[in-house]
Amino acid sequence: KDLITDLKENLSHHFKEVMVGLMYPPASYDAHELWHALKGVDIEEKCLIDILASRSNMEIFQMKEAYLMQYNTDLQQDIDSETSGHFRDTLMNLAQGTRMEGYADPSTAAQDAMILWEACQQKTGEHKNMLQMILCNRSPQQLWMVFQEFQNISGQDIVDAINECYDGYFQELLVAIVLCIRDKPSYFAYRLYNAIHDFGFHNKTVIRILIARSEIDLMNIRQRYKERYGKSLFHDIKHFASGHYESALLAICAGDTEDY
């Protein structure tokens, strides 16, 4: 008998989503979430952003392999057919998994920063392409220097500049890339807080982030959450969820004694 099939048949609602989700290896779970985000009734852009803006080259490679095996179709082809515009172009770039690693060149950081600054001022299609190319392909170490140079050139934080100059899911994706480069646990703490407090406990987002990060950096996410918002993640889940669903989320979250 297949365990996942039995879980699907015998459980229900959000508790079922959590239990079934925990059965997948990380790459297969990402593939599962991306498939449903692209092929569901409505495109779930925020799910695409959360996953593709935050994964390493290796994680993206494994996720694409899992996607092909599970659904017999190519992830990049599905992104191409189901999304559009510069949002699609940026997702496609991230899905290549070709970000440089461990490389930093101070001499080009100022040049990249100037390109980003011009892209925020002029906002042509060409400038948008240059903006996303830099954010999707430079190494994290390089981008740290680029963001500092951007601040020096413009007197403005790169996130504030992107928020001022762009809108829609393209803007959200660019900001997510920057925030993940700076501090991934802080990004996911922010996303969890939004999902819990701004969207009346958005179950899909809470479940996805807790499962996907549970064996990676959930302890750090919990720490950032408490530092930033005053209440623990454990406390907020306990306040908004209930029943077996609550117990399952709390078990993944594994709160400290003072969180109860």
Residues 45-56: pLDDT tens digits?
A: 999 999 999 999
Per-residue pLDDT tens digits for 8-65? 889 889 999 999 999 999 999 999 999 999 998 889 999 999 999 999 999 999 999 9
Can you tell me the distance from the alpha carbon of 101 to that of 256, in angstroms, rounded to the nearest whole number?
35
Better-predicted residue by pLDDT, 44 or 4: 44
- Is the pLDDT at 257 greater than 60? The verdict is no
CATH of region 106-182, choose from 3.90.180.10, 3.40.50.12500, 1.10.220.10, 3.30.750.24: 1.10.220.10
Average pLDDT over residues 99-106: 87
What's the pLDDT at 256? 57
Residues of the chain with pLDDT > 70: what percent?
98
What pLDDT digit, counting tens, does each position of 223-239 carry?
Answer: 999 999 999 999 999 88
Q: Which residue has the higher pLDDT, 11 or 80?
A: 80
**Once rounded to an integer, what is the mean pLDDT over residues 198-214?**
92
Q: Where are the alpha helices (DSSP H) in the chain?
A: 3-10, 13-21, 26-39, 45-52, 57-71, 75-82, 85-95, 106-122, 125-137, 140-154, 158-165, 168-193, 203-213, 218-229, 233-240, 243-253
Give the residue with greater pLDDT, 205 vs 199: 205
Proportion of the chain above pLDDT 90, given as a percent: 81
- pLDDT score of 221 more than 60: yes
Question: Do residues 59 and 212 lie in contact, with contact meaning Cβ atoms separated by under 8 Å?
Answer: no
Is the pLDDT at 202 greater than 80? The verdict is yes
User: 14-28, 116-130, 136-150, 235-249 — which is least confidently predicted?
Assistant: 116-130
The DSSP secondary-structure symbol of 194 reads I
Q: What residues does each domain of the chain span?
A: 1-98, 106-182, 183-253
Is the pLDDT score of 254 beyond 80? no
Record the pTM: 0.94
Q: Residue 259: its pLDDT value, please?
A: 58
**Whether 105 contacts 143, CB under 8 Å:** no
* Burial group, residue 89, by CB count within 10 angstroms (0-12, 13-18, 19+): buried
The pLDDT of residue 258:
57
Select from 1.10.220.10, 1.10.10.10, 2.40.10.480, 1.10.630.10 the CATH code of 183-253: 1.10.220.10
The pLDDT score that the predictor gives to residue 127 is 83
Mean of per-residue pLDDT scores for the chain? 93
Q: 1-98: CATH homologous superfamily?
A: Annexin (1.10.220.10)
